[in-house]
């Protein structure tokens, strides 16, 4: 499974539809300061399900929508499409019947984000799990932002362990364990309440 193309439309400085074609080998993006190089990496994280506005250098998620300039009015929505080439059939189970798939995330002012995989509505979690099971995703250490290397050097051992877990391909399991623990805590809370009610009745 490899990234084929990233399409941005109304995302940050990319007001007009723009395609970044990612060919085999190394892809370099060069340009003057402020031309949008980091915005491209953020678009990649965002379409993979990033849900922290701070990781997008914003205060709210709607800050990713083109905010307008003196010559162009602001847009009401932003959309990023990531096309994946799956001819090697390495996508996680459940997605492996497709040669290519398009993952779309769209955000509309006051209406939040919506996701699609190959035209079908899906939840943010479905997209996040797809990438987690493929050992990549919005939080993948393969995506290195400015300043991240020094953060890594100063990181606590627990945070560094996450990188090893990612490399071992168990991030998806980690996420599922976390969700199972939350459900277990909820069930334990319910049992305590039932015990209290039984005590009151007896």
**3-class DSSP string for 29-47:** CCCCCCCCHHHHHHHHHHH
Could you tell me which residues are annotated as the binding site? Answer: 32-39
The minimum distance between CB 63 and ligand ATP, in angstroms, equals 6
Spatial separation of the C-alpha atoms in residues 90 and 110, rounded to whole Å = 37
The distance of closest approach from Cβ of residue 119 to ligand ATP in the complex, given in angstroms and rounded to an integer, is: 27
CA distance 177 to 170: 11
Task: Give, rounded to a whole angstrom, the gap between the first and last alpha carbons of the chain.
Answer: 60
Contact letters for ligand ATP, residues 34-73 (x by CB under 6 A): xxxxxx-----------------------x-xxx------
Residue among 6, 7, 12, 86 that touches ligand ATP (CB under 6 A) = 12
Distance between CA atoms of residues 72 and 70, nearest Å? 6
Q: How far is the CB of 6 from ligand ATP (least distance, A)?
A: 14
Position 31 contacts ligand ATP (CB under 6 A): yes
Give contact residues for ligand ATP (rule: CB under 6 A): 12-13, 31, 33-39, 63, 65-67
């Amino acid at each position: 499974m490899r990234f084929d193309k990233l399409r941005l439309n109304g995302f940050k400085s990319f007001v007009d539809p723009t395609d970044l074609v990612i060919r085999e080998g190394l892809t370099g993006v060069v340009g003057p300061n402020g031309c949008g190089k980091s915005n491209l990496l953020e678009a990649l994280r965002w379409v993979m399900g990033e849900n922290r506005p701070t990781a997008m250098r914003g205060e709210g998620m709607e800050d990713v929508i083109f905010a307008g300039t003196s010559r162009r009015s602001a847009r009401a929505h932003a959309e990023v499409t990531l096309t994946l080439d799956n001819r090697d059939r390495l996508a996680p189970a459940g997605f492996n019947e497709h040669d290519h798939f398009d993952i779309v995330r769209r955000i509309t002012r006051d209406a939040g984000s919506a996701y699609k995989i190959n035209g079908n509505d899906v939840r943010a979690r479905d997209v996040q799990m797809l990438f987690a099971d493929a050992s990549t995703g919005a939080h993948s250490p393969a995506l290195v932002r400015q300043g991240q290397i020094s953060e890594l050097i100063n990181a606590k051992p627990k945070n560094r362990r996450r990188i090893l877990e990612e490399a071992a391909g168990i991030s998806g399991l980690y996420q599922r364990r976390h969700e199972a623990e939350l459900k277990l805590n909820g069930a334990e809370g319910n049992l305590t309440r039932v015990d209290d009610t039984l005590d009151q009745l007896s």
